[in-house]
Structure formats: C-alpha cells, structure tokens
Structure 1
C-alpha cells in the first residue's frame, strides 16, 4: 500500500518542479534531491511491505516512509499556500502604499522559501536515517518471504493448492453452470479448445472446476487429467513439472529437475500427442501464463480440453482462438440461504430469532459463496447468544476465521498498479451499499491528482482505462449502463471492507463516526481524507486534510470557521438532498482561498468563484450571474438557465466539453442565441431545450459534438434540415420533435450515428427520414 502513496508523492514532486517552477525557484534543487531520495526508497518498499506482516521492525520502517511521503506533500502544498498563488495587490491603493505592500510581500516570500528549504532538508535527513536503519538492522534479511513453507506467502500458496484439489460433497448454485460446461467438455468437437470460468475471488470458480474435473463421465472420457494452480507469482518450469506429475506421466524426478523449459515442453507435448486429455489451470492472473504453456499441449483432433479459472476478464476472453467464456453469477437469495443453512444450524436449534439474524448476515454476503461458507462454518461453532456479536462485525470475523478469505482479498489488492491501488482505496469513501456514479468517481479521482493525462489526452478520458481495469479484475460490478457507458457500479461488501481497512491503515481515508466514537485521535492526526455520514456538525478538523466527503441528510452547512481550517483541501464533496435546508446564499467566501481546491459543486455562486483557476466541473441549478469567463480549465457546466448563459462570454471556455442549458422561465427563451454555442470548439455533449429557431445549421458545424440532447419541446418550428456534411462525429441523438412536420436529413449527414431516440406527439405526422432507417430508432409517444 505504501508504495502507492510514495509513487503518488514522487509524481507530484515532478509536477511541482515543472508546473510551479515560478513559485519554487529558490527550492527547486532541494525538491529534486528529495524526489531522488524517495525514488530510491521505492526500490525497497514493495519487498518490505511483503515482509512487514511477520516483522514489527519492518512494519515500523514502512510506516515511517509513509509519514515522510505525507509530510513531503504537506510541505510543498503549504509553501504554495504561503507564497499566495494568485496573491494580488489592490489596484485602488496609492503608489507608495503599493510599493510598501510589495516590499513586505517579497520579504515574507523569502522567509517562507527559507522555511520550506529547511523543512525539505529535514525530510531528506529523515530518509537518510531510514536508509541507515535498514542497513544497521539488516532489514533486507528479516522476515524473508521467498518461496518456501517457512514463510507466510509459501504457506498461503500451499494452502491454495490443497484447497483447490479438495472435492466438496455438495455444491449449491452451480447446477446450471455445471450442466452447460459439462456439455462443452463432452460435445462432439475434435479440436482442442479452452473453457474460461470468470468471476471475482470467492465466487466459486475453483469449486465449479473441481465439480467438472471429478465428474464420472469426464473421468471416463479423458485418458489423461491434470490440475495445476498458478496464482500471481509463477515460474513456467515449475508449472510444467507439476503438470507432468499431475498427469501421472512416467518420469524420473531427478530427470525432471534437470530439464529446462524447452525440454519440459517437448517432453509433455510428446507424452500427450496420441491421447485425449483435460487440464485445469486454476487461478490465472496473466495472459502470458497460458501462452507460456499452450505449446506444450498438442491439438491432435481427439477432443482434448483446457479449463482456465480467472478473475481477470482479459485473461478469460483472450486465452485462445477457440475459447468459451463462462461468467459466474452471484448466488440468488434462496441458494445463499440453502448453502448457509446446511452448515450453520448443524449444532444449533433453529428458531425465529436465530433465523432472522442468519438471514440478515447472509444478505450481507451478497451472494458470494466463499463468504457464505466461511460464515456458516463460523456460526456453527458459536452459541446462539453469540450470533449477534458476529453480525455486528461480520467481515472482521470472516477474515479472522478464514485465512483463505484474507488470502483471496490480499491477492486482489496486491496485484494492482499503484494508480489502481489508489483508485480502489478511494472506493472506501462511499457508504455501504452505495450505487456509485462512475462519472462522479472519475471526476473525484482526477481532482485528487491520482490520475493524470499524458500528451494529447483529455484528463477525464484517462480514468476510463482504470475503470475498465477494475471491472476487468472483478473488483467492481456494473450496476447500470447508459449511452453505451457504465453509468453506475457497486462494490461487494467484502471488497469494500478490504478497501476501508487498508485505507484506514494507510491514513488514506477515515470514517468520521469511527473517529468521533474513539478516544484515540492520534492515530488519525495525519488523516488525508474524511468521510462523514449522518452528522449534525463537523467538529474534528485535521489541518492537513485533502478531501472532505459529506454524505448526510442533516449536517449543517460549512461555516467560514470550518473552511479556515482546511486550506490544503483539494476536494469538497457534498451530497445533499432536496429535503435538506441549506442556505446556498451563505456559501462561505473562505472557500475561494483554498488554492488547491480542484472540484466544487454548488448553486448560487459568489464572484470569487472566478479565482478557482483549476475548477473543472460546475454542477448545480444556475439562474443568476455566472462568473466563469476566466475558468479556462472548466470541462463541465450543468445546469445553466438561458438568461445566465446569455451573459457569459464563452470565448475563453476553450476546454468546455459538456454543457446543459435549461429554460426556467418564458423570459429565458428570448435570451438565448446559438452564436455563443458555435464558439465552443471543444464541446462534446450538449443538452438544451425550448428553441424558436432551427438549431441544426449551427449545431451541425460543431466538429467535436458526440452527444446531442434536445429536450422537451426542443424546437417549435415546422421544418428542420441536416445538411450532408453536418454532425461528423455525432454518435447519439435524443430529440423531442413535438410540432415538427418535416425533417430532412441529407445523404452523408450524421455519418457515424449509432443511436436515435425521438419523442413526438400522438397525432404527429412526422416520418423518420430514410437516412436514419437503418439505425435502431426509438419513437416515444
């Protein structure tokens, strides 16, 4: 985990040197040296983190690195704050007063730079001290975690192999899956092909594979059968030797140890050449694992089969040119209860109260078989009066009771890149059972600086790959899809709990309620993010907070005093409800002094909002003045009235990509002009309503437009025309054509259009243009 934090800080140090050179010119050399020191520390962190489980000295060493990384970030952010990015003189003051003021600023700036320099020197000394301790205490040699049964990782790998091969007597919930896949194994297809079983950790991939592997008909059909568990850390030579042994092929152990990879491949290939075989390759994490093995398995047109189990979508889908992917589902409530009941009530008398507790806990398992099996086994050893204790801390009990649960979860996390680790930990900000808006999550991640753009990339498009990777690894599940994109997702409670525990351990995110109910505030003194739920008042205010998330129906709005304590804030997230009495006119002016604030969501805007130069998304119901002309980094504006938008000069909004304009009054309709829209060269998503003129001549010239939504009574005219060269990139069109009598779409217009949704009155005689006839057109009346 700490590797993710250090890598993030190293990246930010590089950004500081490049982007803030003007402010940090006097300390640039020190920052470069500090960055270099941290980069050297990175070389040892990953290995140290693996060892820290068993060695308290290493655990302390890793914790100290984390604190240095956080303190480094604090020093640089505080320096920028003191130097007053955007600090300006009052243009109305006199000349002599201006010179005096300027002189004071420069003197203070030198003091601040000197102070920053000394703090960076101290940080470097702390790193040097850690390096000395690492050598003095021989920490590299402590808690060795190399392959073997004498260490934790070796034991876990051996446990995985043993568990993978144990045959379970009764498998619930896989009857249909087993029937489908058994048919695939036995079908009359001579060519060898791969069956990939896909699903998140604990969903039962291995269990299903075992059921197939030991099926009597399968045993009879395949003369040779082998099973090998791969996991993340594998060696091809070791896998080949274990496969040969599992097949029962005659061999000398000594001869096998002497053979290199090429010899082992040839030996296995020749041994299977004239025989039908089934091999199960369990727990595959990389596509390269099967690629390194496949040439050892001949295709002799005798119906041989390969089963791969994986939680990685890409591995499942790209394993072979002849491949059947079978994605496992979560258990239904009735299946979950049946699986739970068979073991949980083995030693207890079932009564109404106990069953109610049981059903509540089973529901928390979310249909995950492993969680249900471990829970039922745990409760079978508990007295009835102890069940509610398990219920109160269900996930902690599951992890403590089953090393296999902890192993599966830790594998899911440790295999991620440091950017993905940060993204996954970030999921812990959301309350339990939340339906997470992907668009919102992406904006938050960008605002935090966890994801950055490479050359010629739009920052908000970069996280799409991270979103896909979390889905690919079964760490999040798709909940809703809209416009062909994932709109919302959910995190299984077991994985959310993993994110929450690791985030807390790292001081990455803390839950306010947990802090408020604890007397140990010191553990959260360096807390970076605070997630608050169901609070009336925010009384705990660590000064180094970078993000605050307010999920509540009853908290009071932030005051000036609150904001003064959060000067380093990057993200302020407020999830409000319509029933919440919030006075937006009293939005604290102190927020405009938070120079690091990257994301904001409010309604009635003060003029000082124009100072937030890094603001990227502005979402609310804006009916008054919009002082946004200078926000050149603004990407999203929702939802402005016609009157508000009419007073905006859009020429400087060069990066605006999404715009929603609504009519809140009859007066608004007369204020709107499409001339302003035509100046938005980067606009990709446009939603608008209540137009008097044909919008197409102006809109079709927008080269970047991808999604166009003309809302209720979009256009009151009789005729609308789209010319042959219009809408070159438009993919989605949603339009209300109430009253329209003629719509002309010339050949060549909307050349890449994928979907159209048209609303019109019941008595409308409008015919959909032939040009759109080949598309999937939805007509709503």
Structure 2
C-alpha cells in the first residue's frame, strides 16, 4: 500500500527534474539522487507488504518511508512556492527561460539543498536499521508470493457503451417480488429486502425498479439512499427531486421538515408511486418518512433494503419481508465464469481451480465478482498463486470477504491503488459523477502521460479497470456511457481504512472514521472547515459541502498554499452561498482544480490569471451565470471550463481546452475557434435571445477534435446546414434542440462516425428514419418533443445495423414500422406514456424490452 505513495512521489520527482529544471538547476543532482534512493526503497517495500508480515518493526520501517516520501513532496512544492512568491506566474516563466538567478532564489536553493540532505540522511538511517535489525530475514520468514505475479494486463480500450450490472441468481427473487409490486392489492404496502452486505440487495432492487412492467404501472418512481448518518429533511428533498415533482428550488431549500412532508404528500395523492429506500440502518428512518407517503388505495408500493432483520420485519404494519439467499453453486459458477474467463482460454485445469475457489465464496455475490475480477487480470499459470494466497487466510473453510477485498486491492498497480483510495473522499452512498472524477484523477497527478493518449482517456481507462474488477459499481448510464458510479459499503470501508493508514484521505463527515486526525493528512472532506484544521500545511485537497472561503482569509491562507484541489459544493440555493471570489484564493498557485458549485459568484477577478497550473475551472450554478475576465486567456494549462458563462469569451489562446460548457451562441459566435484544436466537448445555448436567429455550424467545423456537441436554441431559432460538421471526423455525440425543417439528404456523409443522436424541437416535416438509418455507427437515438410532426416512421431492411437503444417521445406518432432485417442489434425501445396507448409497434420487436416513461 505504501508502495503506491512512494511510486507516486518518485514519478513526481521525475516530473520536477524535467519540468522545473530552471528552478532546480543547482540542486538537480540532489533531487535525482533522492529519486534513485526512493526507487531502491520501493523494492523492499513491495516485498514487505506483499508478504503480509505481521511484525511491528517492519510496519514502523514502512511507515517511516511513507513519511519521507510525503516530506520529499512537501519540500519541493514549498520550494517552488517560495520561488514564485512576489511574482506572477507569467513572469516566472520568463525566469525559467532565461535562467535568471535572484538573491532570494539563491537562499531558497541553499535551503532546499539542506532539506534534501536531511531527507537523504533519513533514508540512510532507514537502510542502516534494515540491515541492523535484519528486516529482510524477518520478512523472508513469512510465506506468500511476491507482488511480481506478472505484469497486470495492459489496460484494454473499453468501448463507451456498457451493459447493465450482472444480475445472475436473482431470477426467482425478482419474479416473486415483481408479482408483489404489480398485484391488484390497492393498499400501499412495504416490501423489505434484507440480508448481509454483499448479497446484492441493491442490485435486486434496481432490477425491479427498472423492470418494464414496474415502469408502466407506477405514475411516479423515486430512489433514495439512506445510509447510517442521515437527515430527514435531506432525504425528503432528494425524494422530491427523484420523483421529479415540480418545485421551486429556492423554495424547496427554505422548507422545514413539516413543509417538505406536506409538499411530498400532496404531490403524490393523485398518483400511484413506487419509492425505493435503499440501505436503511434504523427503523426510525422509514418512520420519519412514512407520513409523507399517502395510501390512496391505488396500488402504491415502497421497497426497503437493509442488512438488519429487525428493520425489515418491523418497517410497517403491512410488510412483505424477503430474505435474500446466497447463490447456489451453479449460479455462483456462472457469475464467476462470465467475468473470469474473458481474457484466458478455459481448460479443465483452470475450471477445476476456479470451481474450487468459487466454492469457498459460499455463494456471496460480492466475493464472487471481486474474485473473478482479480483472476481476469491473471495469466493461467498465476491462478495457482492466487489460490494459495487465499487458502492461507480462510476462516471456517470459506474465504473471508475482507481478505478477498484486500487481496484484490493489493494486486492493483500503484496508479489504480491511488484512484481506488481516492474514492474514500466521497460520503457513503454518494452517486459519483464520472467526468468529475476523471478530472480530479488528472489534477491530483495520479495519471501518467502516455504516448499519443490524452490523460483524461488514460484516467477513464483506470476507472474502467476498477469497474471491470468489480471495485466500483455502475450507477447510471446516459447515451450509452457510464455517467455516474458508486462504491459498495464494504469496499468503501476498505478504502477508508487504507487511506487513513496512509494519511492519504480523511473524511471528517464520517463519524466512524473521524476520531483521529493527522496533521500530515493530504486530503480532507468535511461539511465546514473547523478552526482546528486551520494549520494543515501538508493538505493537497479540500472538499467542502458547505461553508465559504473564510479559511483562506488573511494569514490563514499561508497554511493552504500547497493545495492542488479546492472543491466547494454549496447546497442548492443555500442562503450562505458565497457571492464574491476572494483574491486570497488566487495565491494558491499550485491549484489544478478549482470547483465552486452553486455559489452566487457572478464574476472572477483578473488575478485569476495567477493560477497558471489550473486545469479545471468549474463554477457551475443552477441559478446564476458568471462573467469571465479577459485575463483568463493566460491560463495556458486550462483543460476544462464549466459554468453558465455570459459576456465575452477570451479563450482563443487556450489551446489545451477540452471542455467548454455552457456558453451562449452570442458569445461563441465571436470566438476565433481555429486555435481550439483540442476542444472535445462543447455545450451552446441561446435561450436568452428573443429575436429569430439562424445558428451556423461554420465555427464548429474548425474543431477537429470535437466528440460531444450539444446545441440548445430558443424555440424560434433554427439551424442552417449541417454540412460544416463533415469537417469534424471525431464527432460521436450530437444533441440538437431547435428548429430544423429537414435533415440533410447526405446525413451519413456529414457525420459518418456518429454514435449518439438526440433531436428535440427540430420540427422535422419528413420522416427522419430514411436518412438516420444510413448512419451505420449509430448506437443510441433519441427523438424527443416536437422533433418530428408526422404520424408514421418507417425503418427499412438493413437500416440501423448497430442501433441498441431507441427513445421516442412524439405526441403525434401513431405507427413505427420496422422491416425485417432492420435494427438487428436493438435491445431497448423507450416510448412516452402518452404514446403507449396509440403507438403500433411491430411484432418483430416483441422480444425487445419496450418501456414507457413520463
């Protein structure tokens, strides 16, 4: 585990030597020597940790190496900070180029030289102790295999489109519970699913929640996760939002518990509903919500998942209790083999080994999928080694889940270890936004630049690898791509434990893990930054779910100068949301990620240009827009710019920019887009313009790297020719909201590689299918509100050869005709509730999942 931290620091030292050569010139050799010493230490660290030796001296020795690695990073970051003090970063760049030496810099060089010498002495002392106490001999007494079980398979390039989570073994359970959900009993009742952690309670609830019969029966559905620490008001707000009940966000935040209960109750009176209350730990949780859900004798249902039998059995006076069973041997083997044999050829010997290990999982799905995820990365000859490791740590002739999770973690590369540990920064049951997580991985420095690959793509591959190993669960898919994910409680506990041991992350919200706090902690999550945390000089990342910038004001700011990530998430419409951006924050020159969400900030100061290392600037707010200063153009490393932006956009020189959302067409039209060679995602809207305006795609044609393009226009606006998009070969996802009387005849030549298409308000007069079906790469198609006004659509033979999902929400459509041979890959059709009674769907689609939505 410590090897991940040391490897990370060693790589950063290498980056320093290359990138900061101008500053480090007189101590470059010392830094290189320090890097080499840490690399030598790594060899013993990996061996000691892999042997699992329970020896206090070994643990102390490894802990000391961790501290040296962290101190090394602190010394260099502090030195660079001192060199930059009093200068702006643009001026510093010229210092590097010209190799100018200032008196202050000479002093700093002398200071860093002494500190590096001290670090080297500490390493020498550790080497002496290793030899004196014969730590190698102690370590070699422990049995086990070394970490060198062969290199992990090269990260495969995962397709953007994924299948839903495997639900093997729940067929009978799902059938029984589905019958309870849709039976004619008019009274509302509770279905309680209970069982130990890792049995698949949430997975089964999801299977039911998304079942087409359930979707069609209930007018409204909602899902909320409770967890051990909850607030009733927060649960009620989240339920209201999940139900998509109309509300004013500002008013909703002002409501107290009684107001929220009344609002939810009144909104559901005339509707049949299903609500899933996931991960309940106390009976009081449902009791606190119960009166908000009316029993209108219309067949409404509540599903509760819990680990606790008493909670399940005493939830409600009308409760169907369902104890989730363990998987049978046949079910366990199918669940295991579907993943474990993806990358190796199955033979009799491997199958015998696999069955032997699966049997020891005693039918626990989480244990099985983690084991199969681990073995899927191993060569056939390495399966014996894994089996031997597991056998030495069995309890009562079965695999203990905690050891299996630990083993899966220990077999990760150091980059994947860091990414997994980072997940502990999120509160329990958090739905994690994938694109945000990827940007944080890059900002934290976990991602190594690989040849001809964008770092964000490498980070996405890391995330896919963790998903493949079943260490992360897919939560929500949008346009066929994983949009959000989450971490199982047991895996999150593992991440918290190891992150805390490394001083890697401290989650101050989680009361079970916040009793001990180290001043050398690197990353911190809390609601408000308490005074006692003011002096944390080693902090690299701060995540706040409330509060403001008070901790940066005045002298306090000096305690946070090494920050790389600052993320503040205000509660929606909170009265304490910050409305001004403090100048002090622009002194945090190491910042790579600055995210201030749902604040009331409307402009940024010119001094934002001091943050020359900034990669992500995220000021998105649901209720306010923001103006950007012209000095923003000096942020040459900026990769992601997110917010509701108004006014001039001085972004022409931001050649590294990959993401820009959300901007008005008026602002975008004035941008010289020729230099934005790396822009991959662009969101444009013109809802604020009242005059009829034609949208031109000419500026888009210059964006050679564009992958996702979303254009939303005011209903009077209309699109001109899509022909300029033919110059965008990378375009995969196109979302158009605005008038467009007809599609181009040669649409398949304009956007030949398109995989996702969403049309809304386009007002097409002709059937779009004859043109769309020629787009041979299309996988996902949405035809939404007023995109087509006709009554019939026809898909001809061999059309849509790769289409997997079709979503249609067209009030006037009465018939969808699909000729034989069309849509051969189609898996799902989603139609609107209003269409369900009148739309004729061909019999050929009978075997495909057809669901309705509101």
User: Which TM-score bucket, shorter chain as reference?
Assistant: 0.5 to 0.7
Aligned partner of 1:33 in structure 2 is 33
Residues 201, 778 of structure 1: alpha-carbon distance in 2 compared, 3 angstrom cutoff = closer
Post-superposition shift, 1:595? 1.8
- Residues 458-473 of structure 1 mapped to structure 2, 5 A cutoff: 458-473=454-469
Post-superposition shift, 1:619? 2.0
- Residues 236-635 of structure 1 mapped to structure 2, 5 A cutoff: 280-283=354-357, 311-313=371-373, 404-512=400-508, 524-533=518-527, 539-552=533-546, 557-561=550-554, 562-582=556-576, 584-602=578-596, 603=601, 604-621=603-620, 622-626=625-629, 627-635=631-639
**1:52, 1:59 within 8 Å by CA — same for their partners in 2?**
no
Report Cα offsets for 1:540-589 as digits up to 9, x if no partner. Answer: 4311111111123x567544144221011111111112232346444221
Aligned partner of 1:703 in structure 2 is 704
Q: Secondary structure at the match of 1:4?
A: helix
**1:178, 1:211 within 8 Å by CA — same for their partners in 2?**
no
**1:9, 1:73 within 8 Å by CA — same for their partners in 2?**
yes
Given the alignment, which residue of 626, 637, 657 partners 2:641? Answer: 637
Post-superposition shift, 1:17? 0.6
**1:619, 1:637 within 8 Å by CA — same for their partners in 2?**
yes
Residues 569, 722 of structure 1: alpha-carbon distance in 2 compared, 3 angstrom cutoff = same
**1:209, 1:280 within 8 Å by CA — same for their partners in 2?**
no
Inter-partner Cα distance in structure 2 for 1:37 and 1:2: 15
Post-superposition shift, 1:712? 3.5
1:113 and 2:112 matched: no
Post-superposition shift, 1:634? 1.3
Inter-partner Cα distance in structure 1 for 2:379 and 2:89: 64
Inter-partner Cα distance in structure 2 for 1:483 and 1:317: 28
Which stretch shows the higher mean deviation, 130-139 or 507-516? 507-516
Inter-partner Cα distance in structure 2 for 1:49 and 1:317: 20
Report Cα offsets for 1:595-652 as digits up to 9, x if no partner. Answer: 211111244311111121121122225532333111122112223535232xx2x331
Report Cα offsets for 1:230-252 as digits up to 9, x if no partner. Answer: x9xxxxxxx99xx99xxxxxxxx
**1:563, 1:588 within 8 Å by CA — same for their partners in 2?**
no
Post-superposition shift, 1:657? 1.7
Aligned partner of 1:72 in structure 2 is 72
Post-superposition shift, 1:280? 4.7
Post-superposition shift, 1:768? 2.8
**Structure 1 or 2: more helix by fraction:** 1
- What runs of 5+ residues in structure 2 fail to find an aligned partner? 92-97, 147-166, 176-196, 202-324, 341-345, 359-367, 381-394, 687-691, 786-854
Residues 126, 61 of structure 1: alpha-carbon distance in 2 compared, 3 angstrom cutoff = same
Post-superposition shift, 1:65? 0.7
- Residues 687-726 of structure 1 mapped to structure 2, 5 A cutoff: 687-690=683-686, 692-713=693-714, 716-717=717-718, 720-722=721-723, 725-726=726-727
Q: Secondary structure at the match of 2:6?
A: helix
Post-superposition shift, 1:459? 1.6
Q: Secondary structure at the match of 1:422?
A: helix
Inter-partner Cα distance in structure 2 for 1:212 and 1:777: 35
Inter-partner Cα distance in structure 1 for 2:88 and 2:112: 22
Q: Secondary structure at the match of 1:439?
A: helix
Inter-partner Cα distance in structure 1 for 2:89 and 2:8: 35
Residues 513, 696 of structure 1: alpha-carbon distance in 2 compared, 3 angstrom cutoff = closer
**1:17, 1:31 within 8 Å by CA — same for their partners in 2?**
yes
Q: Secondary structure at the match of 1:27?
A: helix
**1:724, 1:748 within 8 Å by CA — same for their partners in 2?**
no
**1:433, 1:493 within 8 Å by CA — same for their partners in 2?**
yes
1:735 and 2:736 matched: yes
Which stretch shows the higher mean deviation, 713-722 or 53-62? 713-722
Residues 698, 444 of structure 1: alpha-carbon distance in 2 compared, 3 angstrom cutoff = closer
Report Cα offsets for 1:159-195 as digits up to 9, x if no partner. Answer: xxxxxxxxxxxxx994748999xxxxxxxxxxxxxxx
Inter-partner Cα distance in structure 1 for 2:750 and 2:405: 51
Post-superposition shift, 1:432? 0.8
Aligned partner of 1:374 in structure 2 is none
Which stretch shows the higher mean deviation, 500-509 or 699-708? 699-708
1:3 and 2:11 matched: no
Inter-partner Cα distance in structure 1 for 2:448 and 2:584: 28
Q: Secondary structure at the match of 1:744?
A: coil
Report Cα offsets for 1:310-364 as digits up to 9, x if no partner. Answer: 64459669999xxxxxxxxxxxxxxxxxxxxxxxxxxxxxxxxxxxxxxxxxxxx
Q: Secondary structure at the match of 1:697?
A: coil
**2:89, 2:610 within 8 Å by CA — same for their partners in 1?**
no
Q: Secondary structure at the match of 1:637?
A: strand
Q: Secondary structure at the match of 1:461?
A: helix
Aligned partner of 2:47 in structure 1 is 47
**2:673, 2:702 within 8 Å by CA — same for their partners in 1?**
no
Q: Secondary structure at the match of 2:75?
A: helix
Aligned partner of 2:254 in structure 1 is none
Post-superposition shift, 1:694? 3.6
When normalised by structure 2's length, the TM-score is 0.59
Inter-partner Cα distance in structure 1 for 2:710 and 2:70: 44
Residues 459, 519 of structure 1: alpha-carbon distance in 2 compared, 3 angstrom cutoff = closer
Q: Secondary structure at the match of 1:22?
A: helix
**2:700, 2:724 within 8 Å by CA — same for their partners in 1?**
no
Residues 480, 174 of structure 1: alpha-carbon distance in 2 compared, 3 angstrom cutoff = closer
How many residues get paired?
A: 564
Aligned partner of 1:62 in structure 2 is 62
Q: Secondary structure at the match of 2:503?
A: coil
Inter-partner Cα distance in structure 2 for 1:585 and 1:511: 27
Residues 134, 660 of structure 1: alpha-carbon distance in 2 compared, 3 angstrom cutoff = same
Post-superposition shift, 1:134? 0.7
Post-superposition shift, 1:678? 4.5
RMSD: 4.4
Post-superposition shift, 1:211? 5.6
- What runs of 5+ residues in structure 1 fail to find an aligned partner? 92-101, 152-171, 181-199, 216-226, 232-238, 245-264, 266-276, 285-307, 321-398, 664-668
Q: Secondary structure at the match of 1:9?
A: helix
Inter-partner Cα distance in structure 2 for 1:71 and 1:661: 40
Given the alignment, which residue of 784, 792, 797 partners 1:780? Answer: 784
Residues 473, 85 of structure 1: alpha-carbon distance in 2 compared, 3 angstrom cutoff = farther
Which stretch shows the higher mean deviation, 704-713 or 129-138? 704-713
Inter-partner Cα distance in structure 1 for 2:90 and 2:465: 50
